[in-house]
A and B are shown apart, each in its own frame.
Chain A
């Protein structure tokens, strides 16, 4: 696919550039840092890919990460639950919240943009209410913090989680009939329905999966930062959407790939990391990201010429 090749070339260019102008960029330790810093957004972006493939969107993932983190904090620090149980509670919260999105989108037929706009506020609002806006949970056991701060050989502890989720979603989207139906739904919802695809169930399922991944991501987040607060994951949804669209998935659905999302994610993560190591202002990352996004869209429009406005 042309788009992915161009993106890979961009990524290669970035790596070369930052090796030259940055200090200690091209090291294994730094690669680990890049993975560690982008793991949470990565999980969100990977799970967002099937959502966007069906022509939907999920603006609530960042807020949901916060809610799950707060639930985890309350369960383990206030209610004194064992860590494993608290983790299950966090993930269950993600699934429940994802189901709310799923029900509103697939059963009531409300446009995903509006549903997730509402849940974007609702989820973070619940997190803020639960912590009275200020409470912060910390002092987690070292065994748990290892997940966010430790290394397994050369790799950061988050890496296996990220890899498993990436592979899982790649298989789902690109190697199963379910994945094929997701693309069909995005390409033409009515067409998919007439072809016998259970559109409501499939669409609902991708939002539940997105919620589940937000729950897992919240655990990585809390383990990495060592604290659970209501402002967790602010802005993550935008970064995740950017990674997905940069990776070539059409915002209208029907076209895209998990591999593209991973490339998009890598491009953004390397950009942020490289600018930091090159002692350049962090804001430049945002500006370059915006430019890359527009360029990617424009290029897509030029090369593929499909008029689906």
Chain B
């Protein structure tokens, strides 16, 4: 593995915004008050990201009353049209943000696509990393996942409990390759 530099501290609040598909600046943490927030980091050219679409859609639906899920696209070359088409192809019904400057990537400590960042109502990052353990490494997936880090984290935050693990790296495509 290559050590990947991630800014872990020194972030000033207020700078963590993305750009929606109509080119409006959006702060996903404050856009939908009262709900917890999940950022899902995706690359359109990452097959592992894409294969997760039904899983992400299903988990977001399960918690839709109390959690807002945002799809975040950190590839600065992604156009809103391209992302719209991707959402349609993969049957997503979730809001999408572009993150060309990787502000949200830094906020959510994302390194790989797909990874998620789960924030509590106080905007504290509670969990960052993989969705589950479906993929073992590139090209090798289990028949079904045996752990469910994203669902567990969301459930724990909603129940006001601490999460068992706060960080597990995902398998997929490097976000740092986009810099």
Q: Are A and B associated in one complex?
A: no
Residues on A lying within 8 angstroms of B by beta carbon are: none
Q: Which residues of B approach A to under 8 Å, CB–CB?
A: none
